[in-house]
Amino acid sequence: MKEPGEHKFVKLLFVCFIFVKVAPFPGRPMERERCILEQIRERIASCPVIAAVKNEQDLATALESECEVVFFLFGTILSIAGLVQRVKAAGKVALVHADLVEGLGNREIAVDALKALCVPDGIISTRPPLVRRARHLKLITVQRAFILDSMSISSLAGQLSVGKPDFIEVLPGIMPRVITEISERYATPVIAGGLIKYKDDVLAALRAGAAAVSTTCHAVWHM
């Protein structure tokens, strides 16, 4: 038979357990997700050019640029943690293209592995199931979409309903009318990417409704 003091102790433990499970402490995953998403929105509002990097030379240049957000389009399961850490150490936001990291594979578990390996701020993918999994893991998500014809635009609805991404990256990004159509049709903010090489390309995309542009062109990073 338990002593009265022991009953009180057990009850106290139970109350503490319920409080920890339910109470919305600062820094919990959902709050962290909102915080990072707001941070990305604020940063692209102040600097709407995102540095997309394909190798370590690109990364070194991006870290010296005014770009606040970096998209990784390269890496391996062995190198990606160190690469992401360099971006975070520079005070920038790191999103990794999950489809392009060598050694990961294309199943949803790849997103879990990526988060465990390097804890990026978010992921990019052309695969809605990976985007959905990343969202479940409280990562910022970018659905990458190649627009080849009108059917590509219509099929976006299905992709977005599965992944519910935070952003759509539309490629190529030099189609102002298409960017306007997608921006007006879907509520998800658009990032224009691909073939953006000049200041006029950036301005045209932003005027068309894009929230930001992503580019591998160093000259645009330093505009």
- Residue 9 pLDDT greater than 50, yes or no: no
CATH assignment, 27-221: 3.20.20.70
Amino acid, single-letter form, for residue 53: V
Calpha distance 169→157 (Å, rounded): 14
Start-to-end CA distance of the chain, whole Å, equals 76
The pLDDT value given to residue 31: 63
Pairing of strands 122-125, 167-171: unpaired
pLDDT, tens digit, 9 for 90 and up, residues 194-211: 999 999 999 999 999 999
The pLDDT value given to residue 6: 43
The pLDDT value given to residue 127: 97
What pairs with residue 69 in β-bridges? 93
Burial label, 169 (beta-carbon count in 10 A; 0-12, 13-18, 19+): buried
Angle between helices 199-207 and 176-185 (to 10 degrees): 30
